[in-house]
């Protein structure tokens, strides 16, 4: 465990389905559960930081390693791993993470949230469409060309965090996704944060990180999670 970390590395699942994960519990010893879904970089320190931050805010967080130990060293390799990810297996891995949270004594309530960034935002939505134990979704500038969730099966509320100057998923595409969710009967609220770029919440990316707007987005998504998970 790195200095200052609240959580620890663990194993999830059993048999051939075992995967690495990072797990963080608040100082109180309990709280609502959140599955954190990685960006295309994998289970990196930034994702562990997200789990720790959630724990400091009173949530029990787990982030499974959907790449099963592979670590991209550059954007080209990250893109290869993202596009090569088996979506069925990834959703099964996320279901294992949900199960682990709900079976853990530290987790309050019968439903958890899924929160994902970039690739993980779309996967967080897809997981919720397959698993009614997920009661809230936060999609932070989520995109994955191979993920097409069936929104008619969604039982969770959705909060979207998107950026005005995102070249990957434009505000128009974000509003289209919000409209699709609402047309399917979902409760969905999307915020387009002004003047920022894709991945503006990632403080390990000084080229795009925007501290004031990231703080605003964190405030908004934490308020959403508390309202939905009680």
pLDDT in tens, 118-177: 999 999 999 999 999 999 999 999 988 888 899 999 999 999 999 999 998 999 999 999
**For position 230, what pLDDT does the model report?**
81
pLDDT beneath 50: ranges in the chain:
1-3
**For position 14, what pLDDT does the model report?**
82
8-229, what's its fold?
Rossmann fold (3.40.50)
Contact present, 189 and 175 (Cβ < 8 Å):
no
**For position 141, what pLDDT does the model report?**
96
Domain borders along the chain are 8-229
Alpha helices in the chain (DSSP H): 45-56, 75-84, 87-102, 119-130, 171-183, 211-229
Cα–Cα distances in Å, from 218 out to 21, 54, 199? 23, 10, 13
**pTM, two decimal places:** 0.95
**For position 100, what pLDDT does the model report?**
96
**For position 128, what pLDDT does the model report?**
97
- How far is residue 2's CA from residue 114's CA, in Å, rounded to a whole number? 24
**For position 97, what pLDDT does the model report?**
97
């Amino acid at each position: 465990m790195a200095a200052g970390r609240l959580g620890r590395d663990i194993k999830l699942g059993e048999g051939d389905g075992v995967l690495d994960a990072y797990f963080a519990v608040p100082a109180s010893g309990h709280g609502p559960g959140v599955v954190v879904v990685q960006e295309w970089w994998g289970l990196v320190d930034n994702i562990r930081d997200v789990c720790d931050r959630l724990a400091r805010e009173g949530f029990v967080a787990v982030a499974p390693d959907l790449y099963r130990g592979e670590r991209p060293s550059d954007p080209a390799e990250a893109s290869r791993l993202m596009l090569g990810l088996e979506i069925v297996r990834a959703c099964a891995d996320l279901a294992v993470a949900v199960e682990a949270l709900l079976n853990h004594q530290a987790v309050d309530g019968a439903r958890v949230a899924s929160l994902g960034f970039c690739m993980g935002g779309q996967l967080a939505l897809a997981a919720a469409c397959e698993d009614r134990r997920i009661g809230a979704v936060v999609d932070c500038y989520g995109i994955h060309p191979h993920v097409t969730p069936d929104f008619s099966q969604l039982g969770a509320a959705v909060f979207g965090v998107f950026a005005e100057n995102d070249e990957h998923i434009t505000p128009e595409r974000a509003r289209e996704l919000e409209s699709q969710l609402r047309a399917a009967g979902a409760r969905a609220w999307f915020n387009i944060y002004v003047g920022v770029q894709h991945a503006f919440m990632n403080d390990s990316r000084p080229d795009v990180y925007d501290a004031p707007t990231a703080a605003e987005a964190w405030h908004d998504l934490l308020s959403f999670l508390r309202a939905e998970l009680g």
